[in-house]
Structure 1
């Protein structure tokens, strides 16, 4: 193919297809046109610059055939997705480097990720001290600027090429069920079974860095072989890589597992099982404050608290649709002739409570709330601190409303969510998640639910993204993502509209016409889950919690043992707060350093002068200090700082 022309001349007699471009315009091309051919039809410059494409949102190789009606986006080195394509090629460089240095290694998979890439290997004996050597080999492969060539081959040919690669052969068996051919990508002496896409040559890969080694089960199934996973990242230039490594280092300093251990907040122990956190007294203190806060919001919004058991007969889950759609993620067991399951969600229990009595249209909306513990059987390799666990608590709410009440109730829930965002000083992202492939309910119900939520978002004038296919199996949802202090986004509050659960539980109310009508169910979480929200707060604040949340709010430091009696007297003046006296035989400097390291918002220092004047010296976590402070004045300030839920200690900033 020349630099300025597509691979083949258009055949005017061939049957054509039409693709839809990002601006909504349509492009007519030959029936056998590839993504690259379409790019050349738009313009020769775009054709030459094409790296890959997106067909209906799926990232594909530029050689991929287009199809009639497809939404087409051309990917160049100026596109956001270019880095993902480049990282995929970097993962191939990693595998090539490994096979150059180690014999008899079996290749598994090597995809790009949001922050880099990884490749999984079997029969690889390696540790992190070996990564610099592999990284240097990758850089040599990049410098050699091998052309990355794509080849489409038959299944039979592929089987011969992969005769010594058991994991690739397993993948090939699945691919053979869908197509008679597969694609290989080669660079220099090395090749791999891969769908792509990739950059044109290894020289187009920018700055690379290998990060760590971990274990990973083949296909994510703990019944399978544990393989060696090598993580890396790649950026277009060295400055972007350096910025990423700085962010990564800061993220490691903020890691909630590290801070949780330092502050004695929680533990996850082998003796209790994976993904089952134990909250220590300081951690439970924070959780209790979070519970009290959301309970006050619920009380103001007219919610009634209910409680449901941890275990139900699976009859309930069959009825709700969870058994059919969620069984693989449930803990299920037999008791006698009955099958039971730990609840993965609270909503069916709340529907059963609503079903247990008769309702009039005048009674609605009915709002139930529960801090409900739920259980989901995540793969062990996916468990991580508090961010992904087996047992977690949702600040759950379920509303049963008339259709004419939907928009008002969703708006009120969003107001509650904004109260949380403002209180904790969190930025956010919003998305509307639409119908997934695996779902229950009619097209009409889903269209109605999605249009209602979209209408609320439009009227609120919030910026939001459409997350196609990311809804719950029973209905679409509005999702809020918490953005923390270093720009990472975590799953947070959600509002989900559900026309299906009321049908499955035959829920009804008597309308103004004396006829039975079906209520609409709204699912909502203000935090999302306590575990993940706690994790976000630990990392967002780096353990330096606002005064009202801090497990220890004030520490009294006597300068000497002679001042110990006065220190306890002062502590009693602040008994409305969480206050401790440091009575250790240690220097004042060490006591100050310990309080700082323990992230205590305020220190009260008392010595002979303070005792004589019946005053205190106050020091905050910013290491500012004020002397001759009146006890009553400081106590009044702490009352206000706690009640107003200020995010930083500010007595010495007044």
Structure 2
């Protein structure tokens, strides 16, 4: 395979940059590895920009980075570009790739670049974010752009790609700025990998939780209410409540105590915690009696104050507090995406206060909790350790010690993990749980974060075995991440076919005729007393049509009731999931459903 770059100290360099800067490292080849795909996709982004420039000569370009789902480019043209235009741009990209254009790196001064693009406001906006006096430009044919790379040596290597969607984006991610156009795409060296990805995308469209959420009447959004503020309809609220109950019981069995903190705190609290300095742009503020308050984006500060309410003995540690905490975060309008990215959400949040010697024990217990819950929903998952971000509190010694402590704990149990450099919370390193859904996509959900900064800032103490005051370690922990995001992921994972234990409607009764409705209502009441939700399809339609309507609701079980069932107090059961039919007594039926629910405990 052809060399395309060099990897040194975690940094990717293309061949031209490595030669110019005299950098030696591990060779990156065109093999669909993470590093090689970054080079390919960045180059494909430039190829797309070149195609857009030929099709729309007035086009101006902002940035075109590689992202988790491929790449994108932000740009501005006079025409309105829609998804229907993507095939035209793809065709032009193929033409350019076939020209086998060399991709060359050039150095220039800020002044020269500024003068050349003085009438291009987007290029000037990019230049403002670069402090270097000598900057790099990459050229291919008649197209060139300000860029650090890395890039392939030639467009001939860009063969297997697809443009996936058009979106709007605020210039620089700031919603105060103008909205420009963004096109997303994906590329691989291997054509089969691209075809597999396209197949996955098509399947993802069928499973889109926004589409299923509407069809199954789970949730809705209303612009009159506000962007990013989901409203749970009865079906969705029932599903969510069942998930909450399963999780609540699991917490209590594991020794967690329920608490509830306020949703609005004085800004002084957020200044002490560091959120004001490091997270303010993501928060909402208001003024009450000339005092500034911040609406909580996280639950940790409230839990700290609850812990401090009484002096705790070492014998009570680890002390585990948990809350289904509603939080609000300021997300950009263009970033909203169904339940995945909202401005109000509820975390299955916990904060565990423990001693230094208990950290490993707590981490192991949390990971067991994660494992049992994700297995319940048939999720596979991966673990990553996220290290110190650019904006952080605490000295390097704390970060090195805490990060090493997490890794040592995982190593001790032979738990495999990856590293997410710079992905930690601003107050400490963390373990991130990445779940894999039914079609192979990876999602960030749960997290475990070791924190000694906030206990220090708030003077949190307990009485140790010597009768002295000592600072505990605080471990932030969420398993689902948020109910909203997890339900969105779960909806797509199971394509709306929810497990029986949390299905919004678990049984649909279909009475054959009017005389059978009374017995259906009796059964419905008995199921409700067992916390099982059901509906009765007695609308003025034919029996076959009502059964088809029930099938479309994706309920686990359908029960048809006729003369024999009423006379014998039995039911004719259709298990949609197992594709089985059976006749049971009423008592057997209820026992069967309760056994299924019992098997869903964690």
Is contact 1:56-1:70 (8 Å) kept? no
1:232-251 equivalences in 2 (<5 Å): 232-251=185-204
Q: How many angstroms apart in 2 are the aligned matches of 1:572 and 1:340?
A: 47
Q: What residue is the counterpart of 2:156 in the other structure?
A: 203
1:388 to 341, 350, 354: 341
Q: How many angstroms apart in 1 are the aligned matches of 2:74 and 2:297?
A: 31
1:112-127 equivalences in 2 (<5 Å): 112-125=66-79, 126-127=81-82
Distance 1:569 1:367, change over 3 A: closer
1:473-501 Cα distance to aligned partner (Å, 9 max, x none): 11111111111111111112221111111
1:322 to 271, 275, 300: 275
Distance 1:71 1:418, change over 3 A: farther
2:572 to 573, 598, 617: 617
Q: What residue is the counterpart of 2:103 in the other structure?
A: 148
Q: What residue is the counterpart of 1:63 in the other structure?
A: 16
Distance 1:346 1:628, change over 3 A: closer
Distance 1:600 1:70, change over 3 A: same
Residue 263 of structure 1 and its aligned partner are, at CA, apart by 1.0
Q: What residue is the counterpart of 1:165 in the other structure?
A: 120
Secondary structure of the structure 1 residue equivalent to 2:501: coil
Q: How many angstroms apart in 1 are the aligned matches of 2:428 and 2:302?
A: 18
1:560-599 equivalences in 2 (<5 Å): 560-575=513-528, 576=530, 577-599=532-554
More moved, 438-447 vs 413-422: 438-447
Q: How many angstroms apart in 1 are the aligned matches of 2:462 and 2:260?
A: 22
**Aligned pair 1:95/2:95, yes or no?**
no
More moved, 300-309 vs 629-638: 629-638
Q: How many angstroms apart in 1 are the aligned matches of 2:305 and 2:414?
A: 36
Q: How many angstroms apart in 2 are the aligned matches of 1:198 and 1:232?
A: 16
Is contact 1:325-1:473 (8 Å) kept? yes
Q: What residue is the counterpart of 2:227 in the other structure?
A: 274
Is contact 1:52-1:61 (8 Å) kept? yes
Residue 630 of structure 1 and its aligned partner are, at CA, apart by 2.5
Q: How many angstroms apart in 1 are the aligned matches of 2:319 and 2:567?
A: 60
More moved, 530-539 vs 110-119: 110-119
Residue 624 of structure 1 and its aligned partner are, at CA, apart by 2.4
1:358 to 308, 311, 330: 311
1:135 to 75, 78, 90: 90
Distance 1:492 1:590, change over 3 A: same
More moved, 437-446 vs 521-530: 437-446
1:507 to 460, 479, 483: 460
1:517-565 Cα distance to aligned partner (Å, 9 max, x none): 1111111112221111111111111111111101111011122334333
Higher relative contact order, chain-length normalized (CA < 8 Å, sep 6+): 2
Distance 1:406 1:220, change over 3 A: same
Distance 1:226 1:338, change over 3 A: same
Residue 183 of structure 1 and its aligned partner are, at CA, apart by 1.7
| TM-score normalised by the chain length of structure 2 | 0.94
Is contact 2:350-2:478 (8 Å) kept? yes
Residue 343 of structure 1 and its aligned partner are, at CA, apart by 0.5
More moved, 345-354 vs 163-172: 163-172
Is contact 2:14-2:39 (8 Å) kept? no
Residue 117 of structure 1 and its aligned partner are, at CA, apart by 2.1
Q: How many angstroms apart in 2 are the aligned matches of 1:67 and 1:465?
A: 31
**Aligned pair 1:526/2:475, yes or no?**
no
Return 5+ residue gaps in structure 1 as ranges.
1-45, 648-654
Q: What residue is the counterpart of 2:4 in the other structure?
A: 51
Q: Give the length in aligned residue pairs.
A: 598
Q: How many angstroms apart in 2 are the aligned matches of 1:353 and 1:207?
A: 56
Q: What residue is the counterpart of 2:59 in the other structure?
A: 105
Q: What residue is the counterpart of 2:37 in the other structure?
A: 83
Is contact 2:46-2:64 (8 Å) kept? yes
Q: How many angstroms apart in 1 are the aligned matches of 2:188 and 2:22?
A: 34
Q: What residue is the counterpart of 1:608 in the other structure?
A: 563
Q: How many angstroms apart in 1 are the aligned matches of 2:325 and 2:271?
A: 20
Q: How many angstroms apart in 2 are the aligned matches of 1:370 and 1:104?
A: 54
Residue 407 of structure 1 and its aligned partner are, at CA, apart by 1.9
Secondary structure of the structure 2 residue equivalent to 1:234: strand
CA RMSD of aligned residues (A): 2.2
Is contact 1:56-1:71 (8 Å) kept? no
Secondary structure of the structure 2 residue equivalent to 1:240: helix
Distance 1:58 1:379, change over 3 A: farther
Return 5+ residue gaps in structure 2 as ranges.
none
More moved, 570-579 vs 322-331: 570-579
Distance 1:546 1:473, change over 3 A: same
Residue 578 of structure 1 and its aligned partner are, at CA, apart by 0.8
**Aligned pair 1:264/2:217, yes or no?**
yes
Is contact 1:482-1:489 (8 Å) kept? yes
Q: What residue is the counterpart of 2:428 in the other structure?
A: 475
Is contact 2:374-2:380 (8 Å) kept? yes
Larger Rg: 1
**Aligned pair 1:295/2:248, yes or no?**
yes
| TM-score normalised by the chain length of structure 1 | 0.87
More moved, 600-609 vs 229-238: 229-238
**Aligned pair 1:454/2:407, yes or no?**
yes
Secondary structure of the structure 2 residue equivalent to 1:63: helix
Q: How many angstroms apart in 2 are the aligned matches of 1:396 and 1:183?
A: 45
